[in-house]
Structure 1
Amino acid sequence: MVFKRLLGSLGVGGPTVDTVLDPGAVLPGGSLGGQVHLRGGEADFTVEHITLELMARVEAEHEDGEAEGAIVFDRFTVGGSFRLGAGEPHSVPFSVALPWETPITELYGQGLGIVLGVRTELAVAGAKDKGDLDQLAVRPLPAQEAILEAFGQIGFGFRSADLELGRIGGTGQQLPFYQEIELTPAPQYAHQMNEIEVTFLAGPAGMEVVLEADKRGGLFSGGRDATSRFTVGHHGVEQIDWHAEVDGWIRQMVEHRASYGSYGHGAAHHEGHDGHDPYAAHGSHAHKGEHGHGDHHHGGGHGHRSGPGMGTVVAAGAAGLAVGVVGGMVAAEVVDEVGDFFEGDEEEEGGED
């Protein structure tokens, strides 16, 4: 994208910028690399700084319903303080670490409808311009993928995914928004819930998994939400029978129990905003919604490996959930939407310069 406004008030042609991200999807907490390619304008100028902004489309609830807007959730200065000659080409390589809570935008190569972008800001001669915008693709961490695979194995299907502005109480959430992946219930749970929402809050030491089920009401009672939270580690993912574990989580929710499950694999201490230690070995608990008896209960199979056919079963379950993803959206439309959505959304970014 070529700057159209930069230095226009000076009556000269400004420099152009083209940011190229390294190919492939990145991981939450992983490195985002690429190159910022500049070409000088009609005169020599000093580039004061080059800044990358991570942007997301988020939804916010208010009294009149919901609204969508763009938010900047991280910024990185990747270069600056150099002279750019007239017409001179100049490239600045970069490698920055993404926040651990960066939402995932795809599953098995299929888009989830989450809109993330990397926007390049160039400051020259006291003027700033936010120009080049690139779509950011993020794939799940191993534990995230394993959990979603397990839902697919059990029979859950993909419905939608979005980003909600706000914070989940009692968690170590760092970003001002969180991702919800909405799944349709497996047939064996269809009479007990309308849907289940999965939220991942990852950190360096592990990850919180927040599950919220929209439970169906009975003959004499209305439906209600039941929410539970579990903590998992980043290591030893392949040693866990996730099908049994996730099914155990779901059973606890539908049986009116709060969940106090966590895994010791790779767990370490991490302090959240409220002093809560979300990755302590026994730190998980239901944080809102339906609070039960506080049973410390697993769904069985913790640390157990399935038979030699497990890989085939996982692949089949993953494929089932991926089919739901494909059926829920058209990836090309999401790609086209990125630039259109972020264009002109400066006021929704929480006062970023």
Structure 2
Amino acid sequence: MVFKRLLGSLGVGGPTLDTVLDHGAAGPGQPLSGQIHLKGGDAGFDIERITLELVARVEAETHEGEHEGVIVFDRCTVGGGFRLAEGEQRNIPFGVTLPWETPITELHGQSLGVVLGVRTELAVAGARDNSDLDPLYVRPLPAQEAILEAFGQLGYGFKSADLELGRIGGTGQQLPFYQEIELIPPPECAHTVSEIELTFLTNPGGMEVVLEADKRAGLFSEGHDALNRHVVSHEGAAHRDWNAVVSSWISQLSEHHASHGTHSAHGHHDPYGSHAYKDHYDHGDQHGGHHRSGPGMGTVVAAGAAGLAVGVVGGIVAAEVIDEIGDAFECDDEGSGEEEA
């Protein structure tokens, strides 16, 4: 499916732009390729720059409550510096590499409810317009898939996934947001843990796996969140006993006592000495970090009012983009039979 839009800043008769991504989901840290189809308008235009942006719909906790918006987490120039003649058609192939921490959007082809997109900007004679938006699908890396499969085989079920604006302290996180995959424990564990939140922070050598368990309150103690971090390598992922590894991780979470307190996960206190704490986004303290200029699992798609629009790479993102990226996904679901340029 191709999403077309006449460049509004140029009016009727301006060039049109279609971005077509190659079929299939990409992987974190892996190449993303496609073609940009340009068609000249009623006159010649100087194409100064063609830019691709990776955008994500994220949630943020502020003093006013929880809000949702769109963030640009990567940007690169893929063409430009030529004149597009009247009525000329030109195809521009491109290949970019996704950031290693790019969230995953699907497992075994089933959506996790995370919304990512590729937006194409065309700079023409000094004017710039957000001219095209396509949904981006990201599959898990082998180690990520193996870990999720292990949770499934241990009886954990998928609840939801979302993107949280903020940082997890004590980790090597690079992007200004992180993905949380919420898992529901099997009945035999439900009396101690109500859910587990899983975060992958991936890098070229491996990844940090951050686990947060929302523990149920006992008879003489308050329920609290326990947080743990584990480092795994991409190498040999297919040969590890992931069921045993994940089972040991879960045991470590369960061993934390209620005496550790209730602020371990969402403040600057880190009682587990080594591992991690989550620091949600605060408008007064934007943490840095940006890149260059299984079976039986259900789906819960995050929904909410568009209350936040924050741009990390290149400034503020218009709030309308939230509706635009949502509309793009709806069109993609309904328009698989439409003609492509």
Normalized against structure 2, the TM-score is what?
0.79
Question: Displacement of 1:183 after TM fit?
Answer: 0.4
**Matches of 1:203 and 1:41, distance apart in 2:** 43
Q: CA deviation at 1:217?
A: 0.9
2:8 maps to a residue whose letter is R
Distance 1:4 1:239 in 2: 51
Q: Secondary structure at the match of 1:23?
A: coil
2:276 aligned residue: 287
Q: For the Cα contact (< 8 Å) 1:3–1:129, is it kept in 2? A: no
- Post-superposition offset of 1:347: 4.9
**Structure 1 residue 63: deviation in Å?**
1.7
Structure with larger RCO (C-alpha < 8 A, sep 6+) = 2
What does 1:206-245 align with in structure 2 at a 5 Å threshold?
Answer: 206-245=206-245
Alignment partner of 1:348 is 2:321: no
Q: Distance in 2 between matches of 1:45 and 1:126?
A: 11
- How big is the shift at 1:287? 2.0
Shift in Å at residue 288 of structure 1?
Answer: 3.3
Give the equivalent residue in structure 1 for 2:113: 113
Which residue of structure 2 lines up, in the alignment, with residue 3 of structure 1? Answer: 6
Q: How does 1:61-100 map to 2 (within 5 A)?
A: 61-100=61-100
Identity across the alignment (%): 63
**What is the distance in 1 between the residues matched to 2:228 and 2:122?**
44
Give the Å deviation of 1:346: 10
What do the CA deviations read for 1:275-324 (whole angstroms, capped 9, x no partner)?
xxxxxxxxx942238xxxxxxxxxxxxxxxxxxxxxxxxxxxx32xxx22
1:142 matched to which residue of 2? Answer: 142
The residue identity in structure 2 corresponding to 1:53 is: E
Q: Distance in 1 between matches of 2:220 and 2:16?
A: 66
| CA contact 1:230–1:285 (8 Å) conserved in 2 | no
SS of the aligned residue for 2:24 comes to coil
Supply the AA of the counterpart residue of 2:171: T
CA contact (8 A) 2:69 2:308 kept: no
Residue aligning to 2:282? none
Q: State the match for 1:251 in structure 2.
A: 251
The Cα offsets for residues 8-64 of structure 1, whole Å up to 9 and x where unpaired, read as 3xxx62100000000000000000000000000110011001000000000000123
State the match for 1:299 in structure 2.
none
> 2:286 matched to 1:324?
no
Map Cα deviations across residues 180-212 of structure 1 (whole Å, 9 max, x no partner).
000001222111111000000000011000000
Structure 1 residue 4: Cα displacement: 4.1
Matched-pair contact (CA < 8 Å) for 2:156–2:186: yes
User: Contact 1:49–1:77 at 8 Å: present in 2 too?
Assistant: yes
1:34 aligns with 2:23: no
Where 2:249 maps in the other structure, the secondary structure is helix
Spell out, residue by residue over 1:216-249, the C-alpha distance to the aligned partner (whole angstroms, 9 max, x if none). 1111211000000000000101111000110010
How many angstroms apart in 2 are the aligned matches of 1:97 and 1:15?
27
For residue 119 of structure 1, report the CA deviation from its aligned partner.
Answer: 0.4
Structural RMSD (CA): 2.1
> Match of 1:269?
none
C-alpha distance in structure 1 between counterparts of 2:83 and 2:218, whole Å: 71
* Partner-residue secondary structure (3-state), 1:325: coil
Letter in 2 for 1:6: S
In structure 2, the CA distance between the partners of 1:184 and 1:62, relative to structure 1 (3 Å rule), is same
Amino acid at match of 2:15: P
Q: Which secondary structure does the structure 2 equivalent of 1:13 belong to?
A: coil
CA distance in 2, matches of 1:21, 1:245: 36
Deviation at 1:69, TM superposition (A): 0.3
Which residue identity lines up with residue 114 of structure 1 in the other structure? V
Change (3 A) 1:347 1:208: closer
Gap runs ≥5 in structure 2: 258-272, 279-293, 318-341
Greater strand proportion: 2
SS in 2 for 1:72: strand
Corresponding pairs, count: 281
Equivalent-residue separation in structure 2 for 1:45 and 1:173 (angstroms): 42
Q: Is the contact between residue 7 and residue 15 of structure 2 (CA under 8 Å) also seen in structure 1? A: no
